[in-house]
Amino acid sequence: MLPRSLRCCLPVCFLAAVFAAAPAAPATPASVDDRVRDLLARMTVEEKVGQLVQYSSQEDMTGPASSSSIAPQLAVGGVGSLLNVKGAAETRKWQKFAIDSSRLHIPLLFGLDVIHGYRTIFPVPLATACSWDMALIEQAEHVAATEAAASGLHWTFAPMVDIARDPRWGRVAEGAGEDTYLGSAIAQARVRGFQGGDLAAPDTILACAKHFAAYGAVQAGRDYYTTDVTERVLRDVYLPPFHAAVEAGAVTLMAAFNDLDGTPCSANAFLLDRVLRQEWGFQGFVVSDWQGILEMLEHGNAGDLREAARQSFLAGLDMDMEGEAYARHLAGLVRSGAVPMARLDAAAGAVLAAKFRLGLFDDPYRRGDEAREKAARPVPEHLALAREAVRRSCVLLKNNGILPLPTAGLTVALVGPLADAAADQMGCWNGEGRPGEVVTVRQALAEIYPGARLRYAEGCRTTGDDRRGFAAARAAAAGADVIVAALGEAKSQSGETTSRTNLDISGPQLDLLRELHATGKPVVLLLMSGRPLMLETVEPLVAAVLVAWHPGTMGGPGIADLLTGAANPSGHLTLTWPRSVGQIPIFYAHKNSGRPAPKSGHPEDPYYSRYIDSPNTPLHPFGFGLSYTRFALDRLRLSAALLQPGGAPLTVSVRVRNTGTRAGEEVVQLYVRDRVGSVTRPVRELKGFRKIALAAGEAQDVSFPLTPADLGFWRADQTFGPEPGEFEVFVGDDADATLTAAFTLAQ
Ligand code: GLC
């Protein structure tokens, strides 16, 4: 029996054809466009507007509360989507109510922030970005989609693809770091993982590239704040990952809170129409961020909610999240002629098309099967992938040889507020992750160092000034051979609304670390945070630094694998690690300026771009990461000295050798510098990377193709493309790569 929602979708002409002709040839299924057109033709203005209204479940708000009770609006088809509704039973309940009580029985879209896993919580996105492993990232998002869909979800507000170069902004944890090229590759991997190859499959969910655009450029690193970005920087740095997500098929985008060149992104026609629809040909729909339309009154570009709704809708913002702007004013705007019906049909049609593509009209309950939900709890293969993700995302910043730790004959003191902190270990946006399902560092190490061989003390919290735990920490250290200090950020210190002016390891933790150092025992710093924290004065106190970020459900086992050498660290930074907050923003793809720092040491001439109290260089460069083995890169060669437009790509090749004593993985990075341009160009830009595994003593050639399109940028004449001239390539395993060669791009 066809679900009621489908019966009403069949056009009368189709039914007549079926009964008139006999035997009818099997009807070719109507296309999504046909089905959308048919449904729109039978919808009232209010019902079309309803598709563009999204409310949050009252149980789990992810922003300031605003909406009144939503049941009456659901009953008349006045709501198209709900967010923050969790679980198969709950989504089924709301879906059934919406379908049964509304006239056209149009199913709801259920959305949630599935940012790094749903039940199985993976390392935060900044961490998995540091794996430089696109296959792993895609697999992780597919697991997240599988678990989320089993709970009735259709849509995740991810991937967050904001390029971020300011770790004062807590949301760096949600993104891929500072680099446009890598961020674009990661955006595509995440979209593929969420959406798969067929949105009608029950283990797929809609992706949502956010926050469109340049949210990572908020001034002073302060969340929700303003930006000041030229169109050139917007197009060269911040837009490409969104374009990449759209090209990978992302069905939705989310508009950013910030204004851009004076117009809030929620009503920015340059972004939402000119770039997104006219230049990129985007066919999906754009949702506001939480109350983004309402917030235009605070931005000050609209005097009342009706005007804000009018501006946003005409600019190209399709769905209103929790702001009630469209619910209250859009129908009136259409009836008054202030908004054309064609614009309403386009927006409502895009939402309906997504619902058709998801198969919701064929089976609105295909996702949200309680049996499948139970079966989709963190299953062994999901947990195994999460553990692998931890192994490949952690970054080894320092190691004087203390790591890996022997597993026999050693007593370990595990100290610090992140050592046994299940909730904090999951980090920000942890979906339906359950602390009881998390394996902490303490639990994992207790398996390897049983009984008295593991001495644990929390020592202190990440905030406040309570030092009463220091004595127990000293006592734990006294009886141990080595100290592992698990310090960093609580989950409340990372993600949305967590901008910080001070990026030192917070609270009493630094003093605790100094006490541990004073014991004379070697200290391994295990840093668990959602961003780089300042280590310039910390690194001299410790024998090793392993950055584990917020590693999620399997953080303990994955970290234990690395600490004991069961796995070899292979993560590389995707965000420059500053020496101090004073250097921020600091990133590798910077401009040269007219007075760059001289290459030589300390010249007598002070007249160049510098600080008097710090080097210009970061503590660790973008792309940096150590291993338990060593790699050597040499034999850099180019297939030609001249790259001809329209000709064969130029191939950059390098030999990579594992010169150490154990297998490991290297991230080989290709950077390019455009020596002279119609506008100033960065000193280098990432244009290729390969993560390769090599046994001890093994060597492998790695090649990168380069074409003129790879050298494109937003030129002085406001067009995109390369310019002929001299280029340099640099190949290495971080942004300070020194292996270099040169080529010319012909006219
Ligand atoms: C929040 C965030 C956004 C999230 C949305 C829904 O304010 O800015 O990233 O997807 O609200 O929770």
Supply 658's token pair: 């594992």
Coil, strand or helix at 71: helix
pLDDT at 65: 59
Q: Is the pLDDT of residue 692 over 90?
A: yes
Atom in ligand 1 nearest the alpha carbon of residue 113: 10
Residue 730 belongs to domain spanning: 631-745
pLDDT at 20: 42
Q: Is the pLDDT of residue 634 over 90?
A: yes
**Can you say whether residue 90 is alpha, beta or left, with left for phi > 0 and alpha for psi between -120 and 50 degrees?**
alpha
Q: Is the pLDDT of residue 464 over 90?
A: yes
pLDDT at 370: 87
pLDDT at 667: 98
Residue 684 lies in a domain: yes
Q: Is the pLDDT of residue 101 over 50?
A: yes
Cα(110) to centroid(ligand 1), Å:
14
Averaged confidence pLDDT in the chain: 94
**Does the beta carbon of 289 sit less than 6 angstroms from any atom of ligand 1?**
yes
pLDDT at 597: 85
Pairing of strands 523-528, 482-488: parallel
Residue 719 lies in a domain: yes
**Does the beta carbon of 223 sit less than 6 angstroms from any atom of ligand 1?**
no
**How distant, in Å, are the alpha carbons of 14, 26, 68, 104, 365 from that of 29?**
11, 9, 40, 20, 21
Task: Name the residue of 56, 57, 62 whose CB sits within 8 Å of the most ligand 1 atoms, as the mutation to test its pocket.
Answer: 62
pLDDT at 307: 98
Residue pair 511/465 in contact by the 8 Å Cβ criterion: no
Identify which has the larger pLDDT, 75 or 512: 512
- What is the pLDDT averaged over residues 208-213? 98
472 CA to centre of own chain: 38
Tell me how far apart the alpha carbons of residues 223 and 238 are, in angstroms, rounded to a whole number.
17
Cα(661) to centroid(ligand 1), Å:
47
pLDDT at 476: 98
Lowest mean pLDDT among 65-74, 531-540, 675-684: 65-74
Residue 407 lies in a domain: no
Tell me how far apart the alpha carbons of residues 192 and 201 are, in angstroms, rounded to a whole number.
13
171 CA to centre of own chain: 9
What is the DSSP track for 328-343?
Answer: HHHHHHHHTTSS-HHH
Neighbours of 23 (CB within 10 A): 5
pLDDT at 269: 98
Q: Is the pLDDT of residue 34 over 80?
A: yes
Angle, vertex CA 545, rays to CA 539 and CA 547, nearest 5: 125
Tell me how far apart the alpha carbons of residues 561 and 211 are, in angstroms, rounded to a whole number.
35
Cα(62) to centroid(ligand 1), Å:
6
**Closest residue (by CA) to atom 12 of ligand 1?**
62
- What is the pLDDT averaged over residues 338-351? 98
pLDDT at 60: 65
Cα(394) to centroid(ligand 1), Å:
26
What single letter denotes the amino acid at residue 390?
A: V
Task: Tell me the per-residue pLDDT of 534-569, one tens digit each, with 9 for 90 and over.
Answer: 999 999 999 999 999 999 999 999 999 999 999 999
Helix (H) / strand (E) containing 650: strand 650-658
Q: Is the pLDDT of residue 14 over 60?
A: no
- What is the pLDDT averaged over residues 457-466? 98
**How distant, in Å, are the alpha carbons of 419, 448, 453, 473 from that of 526?**
9, 17, 19, 16
Nearest to 558 by CA among 397, 647, 668, 425: 425
Angle, vertex CA 446, rays to CA 440 and CA 450, nearest 5: 175
**Does the beta carbon of 320 sit less than 6 angstroms from any atom of ligand 1?**
no
Residue 390 lies in a domain: no
User: At how many degrees (to 10) do helices 134-150 and 380-393 cross?
Assistant: 140
What single letter denotes the amino acid at residue 307?
A: E
**Can you say whether residue 631 is alpha, beta or left, with left for phi > 0 and alpha for psi between -120 and 50 degrees?**
beta
**Does the beta carbon of 113 sit less than 6 angstroms from any atom of ligand 1?**
yes
Total tally of structural domains belonging to the chain? 1
CATH number of the domain enclosing 701: 2.60.40.10
pLDDT at 372: 85
Q: Is the pLDDT of residue 5 over 50?
A: no
pLDDT at 18: 38
- The pTM of the full predicted model, rounded to 2 decimals, is 0.95
- What is the pLDDT averaged over residues 180-195? 98
- What is the pLDDT averaged over residues 430-449? 97
Residue 475 lies in a domain: no
Tell me how far apart the alpha carbons of residues 286 and 361 are, in angstroms, rounded to a whole number.
21
Tell me how far apart the alpha carbons of residues 187 and 196 are, in angstroms, rounded to a whole number.
14
Tell me how far apart the alpha carbons of residues 394 and 572 are, in angstroms, rounded to a whole number.
8
pLDDT at 537: 97
Confidence of residue 15 (pLDDT cuts 50, 70, 90): very low
What is the DSSP track for 708-747?
Answer: GGGG-EE-TTS-EE---EEEEEEEESSTT--EEEEEEE--
Confidence of residue 1 (pLDDT cuts 50, 70, 90): very low
**Does the beta carbon of 62 sit less than 6 angstroms from any atom of ligand 1?**
yes
**Closest residue (by CA) to atom 3 of ligand 1?**
289
Task: Tell me the per-residue pLDDT of 148-170, one tens digit each, with 9 for 90 and over.
Answer: 999 999 999 999 999 999 999 99
Cα(534) to centroid(ligand 1), Å:
28
Pairing of strands 650-658, 699-706: antiparallel
**Does the beta carbon of 290 sit less than 6 angstroms from any atom of ligand 1?**
yes
**Does the beta carbon of 157 sit less than 6 angstroms from any atom of ligand 1?**
yes
Tell me how far apart the alpha carbons of residues 299 and 280 are, in angstroms, rounded to a whole number.
28
Q: Is the pLDDT of residue 13 over 50?
A: no
**Does the beta carbon of 631 sit less than 6 angstroms from any atom of ligand 1?**
no
Rounded percentage of the chain residues whose pLDDT exceeds 90? 90
Q: Is the pLDDT of residue 290 over 80?
A: yes
Confidence of residue 29 (pLDDT cuts 50, 70, 90): confident
Confidence of residue 228 (pLDDT cuts 50, 70, 90): very high
pLDDT at 323: 82
- Residues serving a catalytic function are 289
User: At how many degrees (to 10) do helices 32-41 and 341-357 cross?
Assistant: 130
Task: Name the residue of 157, 162, 210, 218 whose CB sits within 8 Å of the most ligand 1 atoms, as the mutation to test its pocket.
Answer: 157
Residue 659 lies in a domain: yes
How many CA atoms does the CB half-sphere of 148 hold within 13 Å?
A: 35
Residue 668 lies in a domain: yes
Confidence of residue 343 (pLDDT cuts 50, 70, 90): very high
What is the DSSP track for 123-165?
Answer: PPHHHHHTTT-HHHHHHHHHHHHHHHHHTT--EE---B-----
Cα(524) to centroid(ligand 1), Å:
36
Tell me how far apart the alpha carbons of residues 228 and 250 are, in angstroms, rounded to a whole number.
27
Neighbours of 613 (CB within 10 A): 7
pLDDT at 598: 79
Cα(257) to centroid(ligand 1), Å:
10
Atom in ligand 1 nearest the alpha carbon of residue 158: 10
**Closest residue (by CA) to atom 11 of ligand 1?**
290
**Does the beta carbon of 105 sit less than 6 angstroms from any atom of ligand 1?**
no
**Does the beta carbon of 174 sit less than 6 angstroms from any atom of ligand 1?**
no
How many CA atoms does the CB half-sphere of 737 hold within 13 Å?
A: 33
**Does the beta carbon of 458 sit less than 6 angstroms from any atom of ligand 1?**
no
Cα(241) to centroid(ligand 1), Å:
19
**Does the beta carbon of 725 sit less than 6 angstroms from any atom of ligand 1?**
no
Q: Is the pLDDT of residue 204 over 60?
A: yes
pLDDT at 23: 53
Residue 208 lies in a domain: no
Tell me how far apart the alpha carbons of residues 324 and 70 are, in angstroms, rounded to a whole number.
11
Supply 474's token pair: 């000293």
Cα(290) to centroid(ligand 1), Å:
6
Confidence of residue 381 (pLDDT cuts 50, 70, 90): very high
- What is the pLDDT averaged over residues 593-621? 86
Q: Which residue has the tokens 């946006």?
A: 429
Confidence of residue 600 (pLDDT cuts 50, 70, 90): low
Task: Name the residue of 265, 496, 498, 499 whose CB sits within 8 Å of the most ligand 1 atoms, as the mutation to test its pocket.
Answer: 496
